[in-house]
Amino acid sequence: MPPLFLLALAVFVACAASAAWVRPSGAATAGAFIALVLVVSIVTRAWRSTEFRTETFEFADKLSEHEWEKLKAADLPILVPIRAGLKDLREKEIAVRLRHRIPGAVPVMFVTAELADPSDFNQRPLIRIAPEDGRIVIHLTRCCSIPHAIAAAAIELAKTGGVPEIHFGWSAQNPVTANLHFVLFGMGNVPWMVYTLIRRADVPEDRKPPVVIA
């Protein structure tokens, strides 16, 4: 940490402590105001967390846009969200097919979503589609919320052709902690939030992608 930053921090802390010591009522008022702002911010963000706030998708290149249109025309695409940086996609595909009983003839497409600035509300995710280890991987970047980006991508693919299925594995994370991470950081409780967002989306029921958790 730069020395000048540490010096400025020390001066700020000293001034704040001095002001609080001289005028404790002012410090209490300021603290109450800060607490009120934080509480209102968290409540309003939680209240609006299930709004479908993806404006549009943009493409990293023409090839990705072409592949995206081909996916939209597919009969029954299976989307499997994975963490970015997963190396052995073959092993992951075998595990998913066995656990979810997906026939070998049904194509599986992996989806990765990378979080950008979670303080943003509306998002315009960038799509890049590239083959990796002989498998199709859909990369979503510039996401302010992981569940919103995945749900929006699935609904966009469902507009034409077959309605995709989204397959997740069970998470061992505590549900309360997962929900708090989603509200604050846009990346917790992904399967349940994707399901909720799709259920509340303003699209026909027969075009809503099912979410499978196993």
pLDDT, tens digit, 9 for 90 and up, residues 128-144: 998 888 888 999 999 88
What confidence tier does 214 reach under pLDDT thresholds 50, 70, 90? Answer: confident
172, pLDDT greater than 60 = yes
Does 24 reside within a domain? yes
Does 83 reside within a domain? yes
* CB atoms closer than 10 angstroms to residue 26: 11
Residue 68: per-residue pLDDT: 92
164 in the same domain as 105: yes
Does 52 reside within a domain? no
Number of domains in the chain: 2
81 in the same domain as 184: yes
What confidence tier does 192 reach under pLDDT thresholds 50, 70, 90? Answer: confident
* Residue 30 domain boundaries: 3-47
Sign of the four-CA dihedral 152, 155, 161, 167? positive
Per mean pLDDT, which range of 83-92, 150-159, 169-178 is the poorest? 169-178
The domain that holds 86 is classified in CATH as 3.40.50
106 in the same domain as 65: yes
Q: Which residue has the higher pLDDT, 176 or 149?
A: 149
The model carries a pTM of 0.73
Q: Which residues contact 73 (CB under 8 A, 6 or more apart)?
A: 160, 161
179 in the same domain as 78: yes
195, pLDDT greater than 80 = yes
184 in the same domain as 96: yes
80, pLDDT greater than 90 = yes
What confidence tier does 71 reach under pLDDT thresholds 50, 70, 90? Answer: confident
64 in the same domain as 42: no
Provide, rounded to the nearest whole percent, the portion of the chain with pLDDT above 70. Answer: 79
71 in the same domain as 33: no
DSSP the chain: --HHHHHHHHHHHHHHHHHHHH-HHHHHHHHHHHHHHHHHHHHHHHHTTTS--B---EESSHHHHHHHHHHHT-SS-EEEE--TT---HHHHHHHHHHHHT--TTS-EEEEEEEE--TT-SSB-PEEEEEEETTEEEEEEEEES-HHHHHHHHHHHHTTSSSPPEEEEPPP-S-HHHHHHHHHHHS-SSHHHHHHHHHHHSSS-GGGSPPEEE-
201, pLDDT greater than 80 = yes
Residue 170: per-residue pLDDT: 75
